[in-house]
Structure 1
Amino acid sequence: MPASFCRRQVTNPGKATMIAEVWRVRLRAIETTGWSPTAHLDSDAAVLAYLEAVFEDGDPALIAAALADVAQVRSSVGADVRD
């Protein structure tokens, strides 16, 4: 949102309050669910694409999290094979 929008003087406080309430209702109506990349790392190609994207970003924390995700997937796959 541009800073000029935030600094704009409100000429009709009633309308501004109504708009703010509409946005509050819309934001409350959004429901989210958990998402884990490990559920989608079901092939070597998927793991490779995931790691390429993460290394391209270059964020060390993201790289560490991605490597942990891959290790989790690999260990669970190994457990299935061993059983």
Structure 2
Amino acid sequence: MNAMMSTSTIFIGGEPAILTLKEKQSIERELYLYHALYRTRGTEYFTAGERISINQERGYHLSVGGEEELRAYQISKDLELKLTVLKKVL
């Protein structure tokens, strides 16, 4: 399924669907986490366990808005701080 996103509308199969604020924030967070993992691949910035935690949160965000939404998952505060520092550097 191909999807393109504008400010608050997502097009799935050519049909527009309005996103809720939660869905929009979730998409933005998932893209942010993906970007952090992509930019640090091949480095030792994140440990293997931290990368797993980030991917688990990404999986949660990919399920938001689905029929069988997963329970909320959030990374630790220490890892969130590490991501914030990385955001300032990149």
| TM-score between the two structures when normalised by the length of structure 1 | 0.31
Say which structure is richer in strand.
2
Which of the two has higher C-alpha Rg?
1
Say which structure is richer in helix.
1
